[in-house]
Amino acid sequence: MKPKHLAFPYVGWMAVFVIVPVILIIIYAFTTPGGDISLVNFSAMGTFASIFVRSFWLAIISTVICLIIGYPVAFVISREGLRVQRLMMMLIMLPMWMNFLLRTYAWMSILENTGLLNRLLEAVGMPRLSIINTQSAVVIGMVYNFLPFMILPIYSVIVKIDRSLVDAAQDLGANPAAVFRKLIFPLSLPGVLSGVMMVFVPAVSTFVISQLLGGGMVMMLGDLIEMQFLGAAYNPHLGSAIALVMMFIVIVFMYIMNKFGEGEERAVGL
C-alpha cells in the first residue's frame, strides 16, 4: 500500500462530514421551499443586521480580552521551568475536561442575582450587580470558555523561541522592553494569530453561552440559525443563507489575518 492511500479514510471522513454538509447549505441558501433558485433568502437578512453586528462585536470584545489576558499568562509560563510549565498547562486544560454545558451552568450560578458573586459583594458591604442576562455575562462566558484556546497556541510558539536570540539581543545592549518589542512579540505573532482565530470563530457562532447567560435577551447568530432549523420559525433555507454569509465573513477574516501574519514574518526575516 502506498503512503498516500493511508489518507483515504481521512479524505472520506472530510467528504461526508464537511464537504457534503457545506454543499447542502449552499443548495438550501440559494433555493426556496418550492425548489426554485432565488436570492430571496439573502435579501431577507437585512432585518437581522443588528444581530450580525452584535455577534461580531461581542466576538471581537471577547477575543481582545482573551488576548490581553492570555498573552501575559503564556509568556510568564514559558519563562518558568519545565515542571512548572507542565503543572500550569494542566491547570489551564483541567476545566476543558468538564462538559462545556456544565461550565456555562456554573457561571449562571455565579452571576445570577442571588448567586455567589452578589452574595460575596453583600458580605463586604457592596451593592449587588445585575450581570446575568446581559451582554456582559455573555462576554464573561465566552472569555472563560475560550481563553485556553488563546493561551495554548501563544505558549507553544513562545516556548520554542531560541533563548540564544534573547541572549544575543541583550549582549548587544537591548533592554528587556526592547527585547520583547523587537524580538519576542514579532516571533510570537503566528501563535497570536492562531489564538485569535481559535477564539473568534467559535465566539461569533456560539449559541449555548448566549442562551444560558443571556437568558434569550442577547440573541446572536448561532441562536438565529438554530431558530431557523429547530425553532418555531422553521426556515432551513433562510438559516442556510445566514450560515453561509457568516461562513464567508469568517473566511475573509481568517484570510486577512493570515496575510497580516505573512507580512509580519517577512518583516521579521528582513
* Per-residue pLDDT tens listing for the chain (270 residues): 567 777 788 888 888 888 888 999 999 999 998 889 999 999 888 889 999 999 999 999 999 999 999 999 999 999 898 999 999 999 998 888 888 888 999 999 999 988 899 999 999 988 888 899 999 999 999 999 999 999 999 999 999 988 888 888 888 888 888 888 888 998 999 899 999 999 999 999 898 899 999 988 889 999 999 899 887 778 999 999 999 999 898 888 888 877 766 655 554 554
- Angle, vertex CA 109, rays to CA 104 and CA 114, nearest 5: 150
In sequence order, which residues have a C-beta less than 8 Å from that of residue 241 and are 6 or more positions away?
Answer: 28, 29, 30, 41, 42, 44, 45
Which sequence spans correspond to the domains of the chain?
Answer: 48-234+242-269
In sequence order, which residues have a C-beta less than 8 Å from that of residue 89 and are 6 or more positions away?
Answer: 77, 152, 155
- Among 149, 161, 156, 153, smallest CA distance to 268 is for 161
CA distances in angstroms from 114 to 11, 111, 117, 126, listed in the order given: 51, 8, 8, 14
Q: CA 255 to CA 201: how far, in whole Å? A: 13
> What spatial distance separates the first Cα and last Cα of the chain, rounded to whole Å?
44
What confidence score (pLDDT) does residue 136 get?
94
The conformational region for residue 54 under phi > 0 = left, psi -120 to 50 = alpha, else beta, is alpha
What confidence score (pLDDT) does residue 5 get?
72
Report, at the CATH architecture level, how domain 48-234+242-269 is classified. Orthogonal Bundle (1.10)
The answer to whether the CB of 131 falls within 8 A of the CB of 137 is yes
CA distances in angstroms from 75 to 67, 68, 71, 112, 176, listed in the order given: 12, 12, 6, 34, 13
Q: CA 27 to CA 238: how far, in whole Å? A: 11
